[in-house]
Structure 1
Amino acid sequence: MTHDLISLTIIMAVAVICPVIAERIPGKPIPQTVLLLAFGAILGPHVLNRIWLTDATDLLSELGLAFLFLLAGYEIEPKQLGGHQGRVGLLTWAVTLAIAWLLVFLVPFFAHHDMNGAAAVITLTTTALGTLMPILKERSLEDTPVGDAIISYGTWGELGPVLAMAVLLSTRSGWQTMLVLGLFTAICIAAALAPHIARRAGGWLYRFFTANANTSSQTLMRLTVLLLIALITISRLFDLDAVLGAFAAGFILRIVMPKGVETLETKLEGVAYGFLIPVFFVVSGASIDVHAVAGNPLLLVVFIIMLILVRAVPVFVATTLDAKKNPLDLMDRLTVAAYCTTALPVIVAVTSVAVGAGTMQEDTASTLVAAGAVSVFLMPLIAGVTGRIRKRQAATPPTSAS
């Protein structure tokens, strides 16, 4: 217990310090997430050994990951999935998956570096939408054409890998996997319909939960946490990854409250970004074997290059081909492509599953997580540069011909 408390104290000290450091860097080029990961790696068991990875810290980290995907699922507008840009986003992700599959299974480099399975394919197709949302808010990109495009392509960049994990990393046969996913979907549908049925039926219980949403009972918040924990538990009982349950909980929450509830969102973000999500990122950093990463720098560099080729290039091409429906200029398209290549949480989840199943070595997993951390720094940095160029171009008046 003492070790747990010491580790948690250090983790929360890092969580307090990182936003201060990020704010003081001119231009704020480094997201807090990168600093949390870096401090975690330095203070973790592989370097200074001041943060111990105990069962308690692992549980809090899992809850942080769950809240990250809950908020990511909550950001998804169901109408966007079936809209034009949503369909283009799905097709683009399918192309990304096909390219990643060909590269991983046909290029000998990946087989030589313990990356010749479905887990490696999935890690190349992801967009960290949950990680991106705070950055988009900070940079005032919400409800802009660029922001809408990022969310449309990023939604499938997060949802697609989550579903692929359930199907491709399952140890069951094909029909058993589909049966389990069908049962899980049925449970999710029932959970989404229950509030609508309760609202129509009325009754004292519904009125009680509604009236006490903002009292000391915090009924709506408690129901949300119950939904999250229940779906995570069901995911584990069905031998599915907890990420799927967390993402489904957020999506259900959006369906139940399509216009959102500001007070609930404030509370969820307070618990998530104020406590659990920083714990997840610091612990993720602490789990990185820095010596293993330093011993295999080629894999780190090649993986980042592959992320750009597999994820950024198809998104850029898609936004270019879709110019009639969603016109974006060159800098905006580059910005969208760069943001959509930001990866990390799914990489953490996928590599954890692969290591646990014995299909990936821990050294390789550490390197891929480190590469995901680099992408969280590098891609928003590139996107920030292209965004500033776009603003300068827009501010410069066109020269008239003499």
Structure 2
Amino acid sequence: MTHDLISLTIIMAVAVICPILAERIPGKPIPQTVLLLVFGMALGPHLLNKIWLTDAVDLLSELGLAFLFLLAGYEIDPKKLGGHQGKVGLLTWVATLAIAWLAVFLVPFFAAHDMNGVAAVITLTTTALGTLMPILKERSLTGTPVGEAVIAYGTWGELGPVLAMAVLLSARSQWQTMLILGLFTLICALAALVPKAARRAGHWLYRFLTENANTSSQTLMRLTVLLLVGLITISRLFDLDVVMGAFAAGFILRFVIPDGNRILETKLEGVAYGFLIPVFFVASGASIDVRAVAANPALLIMFIVMLVLVRAVPVFTALTLDRRANPLEPQDRLTVALYCTTALPVIVAVTSVAVKAGTMQQTTASTLVMAGAVTVFLMPLLGGLAGKVVPGSPTWRRSDSATLRSA
């Protein structure tokens, strides 16, 4: 218990310090997420050994990951997901998966560096939409054509790998996997349709929950946490990753309250970004074996390069060919493609599953997580620079005005 509390105290001290440091760096080029990871690496068991990854810390970290995906799922409008740009985003992700599959199984470099399995393929197809949302808000890109495109393509970059993990990384037979996914989908459908019907019918229980949402009962907040914890528990019972249940919880919450609930959102963000999500990022940094990464820099560099080729290039190409839904200037298309190459949470989840299954070494997993951490810093930085290449572009105007407001 003492070790748990000491570790948690240090983690929360880091959580307080990082946004202050990020604010004081001229131009704010480094998202606080990167600083959380860096501090985690420095204070973790592989370097200074001041943060211990105990069972209690691991549980809080997993809840942080769950809240990150809950908020990511909640940001997604189901109508847009099935719209034109959403469909193009899905096709683009499928193309990304095919390219990643060919690269991993045909390029000898990957086999020589313990990246010759399905897990390696999935890590190359991800977009960290949950991580990107705060960055988009900080840079005033939400609601702009660039922001909408990032969400449209990034949604499938996060949802696609989650589904691929459930199907391709399962130890069950194919029919058992599909049966489990079907049962899980049925449970999610019931969790969405029952409160939706109660809301439309004006049921007394729904009225009670809404009327007491802001009292000491905090009914809607408790119900949301129950939904999240319940679905990630079911995910674990079904031997699925927690990100599946968390993402589904976010989808369900948006389905039940399609117009949103600002007060509930503020409470969720307070718990998530104020406590649990920083724990996840610091703990993720602490799990990185820095010495293993330093011993294999070629894999780190190659993986980042392949992320650009496998993820950014198809997104840029799709935006260039599809001029119907969201016509963007070339520099804005490049901005979207670079943002969509930001990856981390799914990489953490996929590599954890692979290590537990014995299909990937821990040293390789540390390198891939480190590469994902680098993209959280590098891709938004390059995306912001790309948007400023041509003065007068939509991205340049929004990012420039945001810089002036924060100055």
- Alignment partner, residue 303 of structure 2: 303
| CA–CA separation in structure 2 for the residues paired with 1:38 and 1:177 | 37
TM-score (norm 1): 0.97
| CA–CA separation in structure 1 for the residues paired with 2:315 and 2:146 | 13
Please give the per-residue CA displacement for 1:256-281, whole angstroms capped at 9, x wherever unaligned: 01000000000000000000000000
TM-score (norm 2): 0.96
Matched, 1:245 2:245: yes
Fraction of identical pairs, as percent:
80
> Following TM superposition, where does structure 1 have runs of at least 4 consecutive aligned residues deviating by more than 6 angstroms?
none
| CA–CA separation in structure 1 for the residues paired with 2:62 and 2:275 | 12
- Alignment partner, residue 401 of structure 2: none
2:388 partner SS: helix
| CA–CA separation in structure 2 for the residues paired with 1:201 and 1:79 | 23
Instruction: Quote how far apart the aligned CAs of 1:393 are.
Output: 5.5
2:226 partner SS: helix
Please give the per-residue CA displacement for 1:161-186, whole angstroms capped at 9, x wherever unaligned: 00000000000111110000000000
Q: Quickly say closer, same or farther: Cα 1:304–1:207, change in 2 above 3 A.
A: same
Amino acid of the structure 1 residue aligned with 2:45 = P
Instruction: Quote how far apart the aligned CAs of 1:207 are.
Output: 2.1
Structure 2 segments unaligned to the other structure (5+ residues):
398-407
Instruction: Quote how far apart the aligned CAs of 1:203 are.
Output: 4.2
| CA–CA separation in structure 2 for the residues paired with 1:210 and 1:127 | 34
Amino acid of the structure 1 residue aligned with 2:132 = L
Structure 1 segments unaligned to the other structure (5+ residues):
397-402
Instruction: Quote how far apart the aligned CAs of 1:94 are.
Output: 0.3
Q: Quickly say closer, same or farther: Cα 1:391–1:188, change in 2 above 3 A.
A: farther
- Whether the 8 Å contact between 2:39 and 2:285 is mirrored in structure 1 is yes
Amino acid of the structure 2 residue aligned with 1:192 = A
Instruction: Quote how far apart the aligned CAs of 1:30 are.
Output: 0.4
* Mapping 1:374-385, distance limit 5 Å: 374-385=374-385
- Whether the 8 Å contact between 2:387 and 2:393 is mirrored in structure 1 is no
- Alignment partner, residue 360 of structure 2: 360
Q: Over the residues paired in the alignment, what is the CA RMSD in angstroms?
A: 1.2
- Whether the 8 Å contact between 2:316 and 2:334 is mirrored in structure 1 is yes
| CA–CA separation in structure 1 for the residues paired with 2:282 and 2:167 | 29
- Whether the 8 Å contact between 2:329 and 2:393 is mirrored in structure 1 is no
Instruction: Quote how far apart the aligned CAs of 1:202 are.
Output: 3.7
| CA–CA separation in structure 1 for the residues paired with 2:337 and 2:201 | 47
Instruction: Quote how far apart the aligned CAs of 1:206 are.
Output: 2.3
| CA–CA separation in structure 2 for the residues paired with 1:381 and 1:206 | 45
- Alignment partner, residue 369 of structure 1: 369
Instruction: Quote how far apart the aligned CAs of 1:392 are.
Output: 4.9
Please give the per-residue CA displacement for 1:342-393, whole angstroms capped at 9, x wherever unaligned: 0000000000000001100000000000000000000000011012224455
Please give the per-residue CA displacement for 1:319-360, whole angstroms capped at 9, x wherever unaligned: 000124321001100000000000000000000000001100
Amino acid of the structure 2 residue aligned with 1:311 = R
- Alignment partner, residue 340 of structure 2: 340
Most deviating of 105-114 and 279-288 = 105-114
Q: Give the number of aligned pairs.
A: 396
| CA–CA separation in structure 2 for the residues paired with 1:204 and 1:2 | 46
| CA–CA separation in structure 1 for the residues paired with 2:194 and 2:288 | 42
- Alignment partner, residue 52 of structure 1: 52
- Whether the 8 Å contact between 1:300 and 1:368 is mirrored in structure 2 is yes
- Alignment partner, residue 7 of structure 2: 7
1:134 partner SS: helix
